[in-house]
């Protein structure tokens, strides 16, 4: 069982945060699944992640539904992590099962400060995750850079 990290975004987009975190996960030898709730938003994220790399960096990833889903180092979609992911990133209010929380090395919960419903959802999830005994960290960028604001369990 790994750590559930909550990212309270007030200055950056999910693509910005993922463009930093995903290469770190890949460097650990982990595969990742980015789960969203809206196919159109995932298409935009897909394009944004290609642009974020520029000439200096390449973030190998693909959209769910292709013939090579199982081989993708980073898979963007709405379904199960069929690529053998050890990291699950939840965006746009996507959810995970208790089994996924238990088996992943990392679960990243990204939520936007401007969306009251998503903030409430993240608070409820924090309570559920910590009550289930999962290690968790809450990170905020309100001060202009990411700072750990809370920690629970063996994080």
Each of the 155 residues of the chain gets a pLDDT tens digit; together they read 789 999 999 999 999 999 999 999 999 999 999 999 999 999 999 988 888 765 566 788 999 998 999 999 999 999 999 999 999 999 999 999 999 999 999 999 999 999 999 999 999 999 999 999 999 999 999 878 999 999 997 65
* Residue-number span of the structural domain to which 13 is assigned: 3-152
Give the CATH number, domain containing residue 53: 3.40.50.10110
pLDDT at 59: 84
Q: What is the mean pLDDT of the chain?
A: 92
Q: What is the pLDDT of residues 26-62, one digit of tens each?
A: 999 999 999 999 999 999 999 888 887 655 667 889 9
Query: What gap in Å lies between CA 77 and CA 90, rounded to an integer?
Result: 10
pLDDT recorded at residue 50: 84
Closest C-alpha among 134, 92, 136, 100 to residue 117: 92
Model pTM score: 0.94
Residue 153: the pLDDT is 79
- Give the total number of structural domains in the chain: 1
């Amino acid at each position: 069982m790994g750590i559930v990290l909550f990212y309270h975004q007030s200055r950056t987009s999910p693509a910005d945060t993922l463009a930093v975190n995903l290469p770190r996960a890949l460097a650990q030898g982990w595969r990742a699944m980015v789960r969203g709730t809206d196919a159109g938003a995932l298409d935009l994220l897909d394009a944004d992640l290609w642009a974020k790399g520029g000439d200096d960096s390449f973030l190998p990833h693909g959209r769910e539904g292709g013939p090579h889903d199982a081989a993708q180092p980073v898979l963007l979609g709405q379904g199960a992590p069929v690529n053998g992911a050890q990291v699950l990133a939840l965006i746009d209010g996507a959810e995970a099962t208790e089994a996924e929380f238990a088996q992943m090395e990392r679960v990243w919960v990204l939520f936007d400060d401007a969306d009251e419903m998503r903030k409430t959802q993240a608070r409820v999830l924090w309570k559920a995750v910590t009550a289930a005994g999962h290690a968790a960290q809450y990170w905020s960028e309100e001060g202009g850079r990411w700072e750990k604001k809370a920690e629970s369990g063996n994080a």
